[in-house]
């Protein structure tokens, strides 16, 4: 009997024993194509010698030095590299161990900023339905995924959730994409005015929504309107790039494609690429200075923040993404994947929408293409597809999100940036067989 407390208590997953390039191997020797990089983590694929060497060498030099006493070379180098390539006025980097830690830190930073600025009544966060920002209590409060939040209701913060920018379901007939983007953003201003601008500390959103919506990119202009609205009312803009950042959509930060920069950005997953647990919160000097010139102390921290081996991994990963031309590769292979998905699923009776950017692609599954009705949740379509794909030798990320108050299903694809054309064929074939076997 295993003593591991697995989140799926009744599953007995195979034992992973190796990884090479785009493939993972289990103890029986079975090979799996990593079609989702776990959950958009393994952007460089498995067994990258440059990254493991950077970690080994750092561990040989210095494994740990508590940030209450020291900074470290890799942490400083990573912060410099991120800021060199970060959009807008982002100027400071707070290194953490993963995505939830980054979003939790962002929420606390936004709150402390307003306290230090003498506006302590600003305590309300506005976020969106159809979003996931992590599993710690603050991050879970920000996320709009009803299924994940259900049992924890009494513990969660009072957060406003507005509609996401979800063209496939919420754009009206005859409405242009631009008009829809403007109308979707207007929901933020409406909510700010409803609750009182003086009470709002920040708005948090994923530039391209990952786990809860399946690579849902915004309509053109949406985030520009969001930025303007935030500025009008002094509301901080927090962009959660934990899943969509670090090159996944074809630019280092996804928001670059929307022509906006946040006050606070959160990154993780692709930053460590699976080689180390690491995340980061980036903020502007205006926010940092408010704290530096106020109490002088960010009232937040964890023992493992700024871990030298994790920072060394992050530094090597970002250097690899930028230095090996992988952003360009994400764009070419992303287009190649989108074409294959269109060919295979464009006319599929149960595929309602194909979407995404770069190597971040989503397939929304529906019972009925004409009415867009989702499958009944009791059919467990996403879970069954995950199982069928796994049996085929494909690891992908089917999930259920909440659509118009009902659960709907989608498949998220986020393969390593190094994926080859023949592996894109393999991915599409295996996924097609898995979907057809289930619905």
Q: HSE (CB half, 13 Å, CA atoms) of 8?
A: 5
When the beta carbons of 139 and 320 are compared against ligand PLP, the nearer one is 139
Binding mask 245-284 for ligand PLP (x = CB under 6 A): -----------------------x----------------
Min dist CB 103 to ligand PLP, Å, is 5
Query: With the CA atoms of 158, 159, 161 and 164 taken in that order, what torsion angle do they form, in degrees rounded to the nearest 10?
Result: -150
When the beta carbons of 282 and 438 are compared against ligand PLP, the nearer one is 282
Contact in structure between 92 and 285 (CB atoms under 8 Å): yes
The interface region with ligand PLP, picked from 130-138, 333-341, 386-394, 404-412 by CB under 6 A, is 130-138
Neighbours of 156 (CB within 10 A): 14
When the beta carbons of 240 and 426 are compared against ligand PLP, the nearer one is 240
The interface region with ligand PLP, picked from 83-91, 191-199, 204-212, 342-350 by CB under 6 A, is 204-212
d(CA 127, CA 346): 32
Min dist CB 317 to ligand PLP, Å, is 15
When the beta carbons of 137 and 177 are compared against ligand PLP, the nearer one is 137
| Interacting residues of 300 by C-beta distance below 8 A, sequence separation 6+ | 105, 108, 109, 112
Q: Applying CB under 6 A, which of residues 132, 253, 275, 397 lies at the interface with ligand PLP? A: 132
Q: Contact between 100 and ligand PLP (CB under 6 A)?
A: yes
Min dist CB 269 to ligand PLP, Å, is 6
Contact in structure between 144 and 212 (CB atoms under 8 Å): yes
When the beta carbons of 133 and 315 are compared against ligand PLP, the nearer one is 133
d(CA 329, CA 336): 10
Binding mask 404-423 for ligand PLP (x = CB under 6 A): --------------------
Min dist CB 97 to ligand PLP, Å, is 8
d(CA 244, CA 208): 6
d(CA 55, CA 58): 5
Beta-strand ranges (E) seen in 58-143 are 90-96, 124-128
The interface region with ligand PLP, picked from 97-105, 120-128, 168-176, 337-345 by CB under 6 A, is 97-105
Bridge partners of 238, per DSSP, are 204, 264
When the beta carbons of 39 and 157 are compared against ligand PLP, the nearer one is 39
| Interacting residues of 393 by C-beta distance below 8 A, sequence separation 6+ | 30, 31, 32, 33, 430
When the beta carbons of 138 and 250 are compared against ligand PLP, the nearer one is 138
Query: With the CA atoms of 2, 397, 376 and 348 taken in that order, what torsion angle do they form, in degrees rounded to the nearest 10?
Result: -140
d(CA 94, CA 223): 24
Phi, psi (deg, nearest 5) at residue 77: -65, -40
Residue closest to ligand PLP, measured at CB: 99
When the beta carbons of 133 and 169 are compared against ligand PLP, the nearer one is 133
Task: Extract the tokens encoding 419.
Answer: 């994926």
Tokens 């936004």 -> residue: 110
Contact in structure between 185 and 220 (CB atoms under 8 Å): no
The interface region with ligand PLP, picked from 132-140, 154-162, 230-238, 283-291 by CB under 6 A, is 132-140
Q: Applying CB under 6 A, which of residues 74, 87, 98, 250 lies at the interface with ligand PLP? A: 98
Q: Applying CB under 6 A, which of residues 99, 221, 398, 401 lies at the interface with ligand PLP? A: 99
When the beta carbons of 243 and 438 are compared against ligand PLP, the nearer one is 243
The interface region with ligand PLP, picked from 23-31, 131-139, 145-153, 335-343 by CB under 6 A, is 131-139
Q: Contact between 133 and ligand PLP (CB under 6 A)?
A: yes
Task: Extract the tokens encoding 121.
Answer: 């009544």
Radius of gyration of the chain (CA): 21
d(CA 199, CA 329): 44
- What stretch of H or E contains 146? helix 146-149
Q: Contact between 104 and ligand PLP (CB under 6 A)?
A: no
Total of chain residues touching ligand PLP, rule CB under 6 A: 15
Q: Applying CB under 6 A, which of residues 21, 25, 39, 437 lies at the interface with ligand PLP? A: 39
Q: Applying CB under 6 A, which of residues 58, 67, 72, 103 lies at the interface with ligand PLP? A: 103
Tokens 């460089």 -> residue: 44
Chain residues that interact with ligand PLP, rule: CB under 6 A: 39, 98-100, 103, 132-134, 206, 210-211, 240, 242-243, 268
């Amino acid at each position: 009997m295993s003593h591991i407390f697995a989140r799926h208590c009744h599953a007995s997953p195979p034992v992973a024993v190796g990884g090479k390039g785009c493939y993972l191997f289990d103890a029986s020797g079975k090979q799996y194509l990593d079609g989702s990089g776990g959950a958009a983590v393994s952007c460089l694929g498995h067994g990258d010698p440059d990254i493991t060497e950077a970690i080994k060498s750092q561990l040989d030099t210095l494994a740990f030095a508590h940030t209450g006493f020291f900074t470290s070379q890799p942490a400083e180098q990573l912060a410099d590299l991120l800021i060199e390539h970060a959009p807008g006025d982002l100027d400071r980097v707070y290194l953490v161990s993963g995505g939830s830690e980054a979003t939790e830190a962002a929420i606390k930073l936004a709150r402390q900023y307003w306290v230090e600025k003498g506006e302590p009544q600003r305590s309300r966060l506005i976020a969106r339905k159809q979003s996931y920002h992590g599993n710690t209590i603050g991050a879970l409060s920000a996320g709009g995924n009803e299924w994940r939040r259900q049992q924890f209701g009494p513990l969660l913060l009072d957060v406003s959730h507005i509609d996401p920018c979800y063209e496939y379901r919420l754009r009206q007939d005859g409405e242009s994409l631009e008009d829809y983007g403007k109308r979707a953003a207007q929901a933020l201003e409406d909510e700010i005015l409803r609750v009182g601008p003086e009470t709002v500390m920040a708005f948090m959103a994923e530039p391209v929504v990952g786990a809860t919506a399946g690579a849902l990119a915004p309509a053109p202009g949406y985030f520009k309107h969001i930025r303007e609205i935030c500025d009008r009312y002094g509301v901080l803009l927090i962009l959660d790039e934990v899943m969509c950042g670090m090159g996944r959509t074809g630019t280092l930060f996804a928001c670059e494609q929307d022509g906006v920069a946040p006050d606070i950005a959160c990154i993780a997953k692709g930053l460590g690429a699976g080689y180390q647990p690491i995340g980061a919160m980036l903020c502007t000097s205006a926010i940092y200075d408010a704290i530096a010139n106020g109490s002088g102390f960010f009232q937040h921290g964890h023992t493992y923040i700024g871990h030298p081996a994790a920072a060394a991994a992050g530094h090597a990963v970002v250097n690899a993404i930028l230095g090996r031309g992988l952003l360009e590769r994400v764009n070419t292979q992303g287009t190649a994947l989108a074409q294959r998905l269109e060919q295979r699923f464009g006319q599929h009776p149960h595929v309602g929408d194909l979407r995404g950017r770069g190597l971040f692609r989503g397939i929304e599954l529906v019972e009925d293409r004409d009415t867009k009705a989702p499958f009944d949740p009791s059919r467990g379509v996403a879970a069954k597809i995950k199982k069928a794909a796994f049996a085929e030798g494909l690891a992908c990320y089917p999930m259920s999100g909440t659509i118009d108050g009902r659960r709907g299903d989608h498949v998220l694809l986020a393969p390593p940036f190094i994926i080859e054309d023949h592996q894109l064929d393999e991915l599409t074939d295996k996924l097609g067989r898995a979907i057809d076997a289930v619905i």
